[in-house]
Structure 1
Amino acid sequence: MNASGIGRLAVSLLGALLAVAVGYVLFFELPTTGVELVGVLLVIATGLIGLRIAGRLAGSAFTTYNVAQVAVEGPISRDGGGGRLPSGPTTTPTDDIVEQIEAADADETVEGLLMKLNTPGGEVVPSDDIRKAVVEFDGPTIAYATDVCGSGGYWIASGCDELFAREASLVGSIGVIGSRVNAADLAERAGLSYERFAAGKYKDAGVPLREMEEDERAYLQGLIDDFYGQFVERVAEGRELSEETIRATEARVYVGEEALELGLVDSLGTREDAKDRLGEVLDLDPDVREFEPDRGMMARLSVGSASVAYAFGAGIASVVGDSDREIDVRL
């Protein structure tokens, strides 16, 4: 046991002993009810509480970790609601993930960042916010994929120094898809008509209650092309690959071994392998602390419930337009 560990143990034991002493005086030596058994139980309870409090204080005073881990699990969204898909789980809000990365960066004991990625993707700007926080982290950053690292997850991974994946991990999905519901025929059969009240030619482009004009289709396709161009550019820059190589993947997902051959990942391995690699880069024995926001039990249970099948059709989800949200765009 190193000096830091001995110090933590000493503080914890001292705190427990002091708590027991206080509890003995309050509940046993000077009993108010005369029932000594109750006093003894209260002494024990007080000691346990003291041990817990002292342990926390010791953990703060004698930190042993030098690597932070932050996880991105499930569909990525600003509020953690899982997006518009009805099967999407409640996940960690993007702002909370960014906050944990920034907290790790501000922690003087943290020298490296380990990013756990198990996500099919999510909204465009939130994914980019996480990537930006990773890029700005002052130290080496290594990501490892578990089940899925697609679209928005890969967007984030491209900002890390290295990416590990399992042999059977699904990696990639570097592409964009746009969709809208065409309810024009249904509205006509129901006797409904669409009347336009808008300022600006393309303000209601994509409204489902009428057929789309060709110039509107070209306009919306242009937005999707812009998203795709940004995605390709970021991945090419972060992975040091040509844009032609990225476009040649055709937005497909690859198992880990194929992704390694294409240069989409750096190594095949588990979390331990990624941690050991980070230790090599830092030239130290890595001790990892998981940085995560305070969440309720139900939120913890729901994280990770997204199915692998979702990764094939989902990805970075965003909405083009204003509050009516007719056009759904995913990378």
Structure 2
Amino acid sequence: MTSPSSDYLLDRRRMRRKLGYWRLAAIGAGLLAALIAVSKFSGVESLDKGSPHIARFIVEGMITGDRDTLDLIKELEESKATGVLLAIDSPGGTTTGAEAVYLAFRKLAEKKPVVAVVSNIGASGAYIAALGADRIFVRGNSLVGSIGVLAEVQSLYKGLDMIGVKVDEFKSSPLKNAPNGFEPTSDAARAAIMALIEDNYAWFKGLVKERRGLTDEELAKIADGRVFTGRQAVPLKLADAFGGESEAVLWLEQTKGVAKKLPIRDWKKKSKLDQLGILGIASSALRATGFAQLAAALESVLEPRASLDGVLAIWQGPRGY
């Protein structure tokens, strides 16, 4: 019998190393998944919030007033939190969504002191949310304001004409589904949309005037849709003071009787990834074992971007700002 060649032996060693690596990776992924599952399903997070603390409620991204957010605010009302810190970093969202979040924060403020801190941006609908707090802190370079509303329709009819596509509509009245982008916007449709805009705008201005204690003259200076830096916002009464989280916590302690040195706990709605349980664990395991691109692909499927329909209260800054 001939002895195995040196090349064969080398190949066998390489194969053993590869198998060993994949076994270790599989064991590591399994352990990580088990740890994540224990933390998610053993109630560790809920126990962490079961003692007095300051709740950090995170307001970021597009504000739509979704049920998960409103339920979380409701849950916060009955929690052991003795004060609430709204951490705001959002350009806004829908006017109805911002209104719902604002009203929920005002109801929360009836039971617990609420303070808002704007980090990068708290504009339009996010500023409406901030108005739900008892006090607003900003950084010098934070962007706040953008008091105004908008509605957008993509005009497609000229492009469709160029390629020979025509959309036939059958509707009960001229203003049904108007404007729609498939035909020129009529004067009547334009007037109807502007009536909606003006009504939302009047409500927004009235809310700012009431919550910030402004005169008509003071309101007129800030209600033209522009954003302001924090340095501009404080003297204009859009915000109360300069500062961040530490200043907001100090304010809660000194003026609202919140105990000193309480831990700060994050209150943030679960993402779709978290809600899917095992798939979320799989994504975390993929990242931990070096498959970040595969994890990102999975997350992109599980976390679709929110759709913003209706009248918007959102700041759309210039590119690169």
Deviation at 1:142, TM superposition (A): 0.5
- Whether 1:216 and 2:184 are equivalent positions in the alignment is no
The 5-angstrom pairing of residues 62-211 of structure 1 reads 63-77=50-64, 94-107=66-79, 109-137=80-108, 138-211=111-184
Change (3 A) 1:106 1:219: same
Deviation at 1:106, TM superposition (A): 0.6
Change (3 A) 1:329 1:67: closer
Q: Deviations over 1:114-165 (max 9, x none)?
A: 1110001012222111111110011211100001011111001112110000
1:291 to 260, 267, 273: 267
Q: Does the aligned pair in 2 maintain the 1:140–1:281 contact within 8 Å?
A: no
2:309 to 309, 312, 319: 319
State the alpha-carbon separation in 2 of the partners of residues 208 and 58 from structure 1. Answer: 48
- Whether 1:268 and 2:242 are equivalent positions in the alignment is yes
Tell me which amino acid in the other structure corresponds to 1:276: L
Q: 1:22: which partner in 2?
A: none
Change (3 A) 1:290 1:198: same
Which residues of structure 1 form unaligned runs of 5+?
A: 1-47, 79-93, 302-316, 321-327
Q: Does the aligned pair in 2 maintain the 1:233–1:243 contact within 8 Å?
A: no
Deviation at 1:180, TM superposition (A): 1.5
Q: Does the aligned pair in 2 maintain the 1:275–1:286 contact within 8 Å?
A: no
Deviation at 1:258, TM superposition (A): 0.4
Tell me which amino acid in the other structure corresponds to 1:274: A
Change (3 A) 1:196 1:102: same
Under a length normalisation based on structure 1, what TM-score does the superposition of the two structures give?
Answer: 0.65
Q: Does the aligned pair in 2 maintain the 1:177–1:224 contact within 8 Å?
A: yes
Q: Deviations over 1:228-271 (max 9, x none)?
A: 11111122222222355334321111111100010000000011
SS of 2:185 mapped into structure 1: coil
The 5-angstrom pairing of residues 236-275 of structure 1 reads 236-249=209-222, 250-275=224-249
Q: 1:228: which partner in 2?
A: 201
Under a length normalisation based on structure 2, what TM-score does the superposition of the two structures give?
Answer: 0.67
Deviation at 1:175, TM superposition (A): 1.1
SS of 1:179 mapped into structure 2: coil
Q: Does the aligned pair in 2 maintain the 1:174–1:246 contact within 8 Å?
A: no
State the alpha-carbon separation in 2 of the partners of residues 159 and 261 from structure 1. Answer: 20
Change (3 A) 1:225 1:111: same
Deviation at 1:73, TM superposition (A): 1.0
SS of 1:293 mapped into structure 2: coil
State the alpha-carbon separation in 1 of the partners of residues 165 and 46 from structure 2. Answer: 65
SS of 2:126 mapped into structure 1: helix
Tell me which amino acid in the other structure corresponds to 2:238: L
Q: Deviations over 1:274-296 (max 9, x none)?
A: 11101112222152222223444
Q: Does the aligned pair in 2 maintain the 1:224–1:329 contact within 8 Å?
A: no
Aligned-residue identity in percent: 24
Tell me which amino acid in the other structure corresponds to 1:198: K
CA RMSD of aligned residues (A): 3.2
Q: Deviations over 1:79-137 (max 9, x none)?
A: xxxxxxxxxxxxxxx33222222112112x32221111000101222211111111001
Change (3 A) 1:166 1:217: same
Tell me which amino acid in the other structure corresponds to 1:275: V
The 5-angstrom pairing of residues 12-91 of structure 1 reads 60=47, 63-77=50-64
Deviation at 1:330, TM superposition (A): 4.1
Q: Deviations over 1:161-207 (max 9, x none)?
A: 10000111111111122221222222222223343311133112112
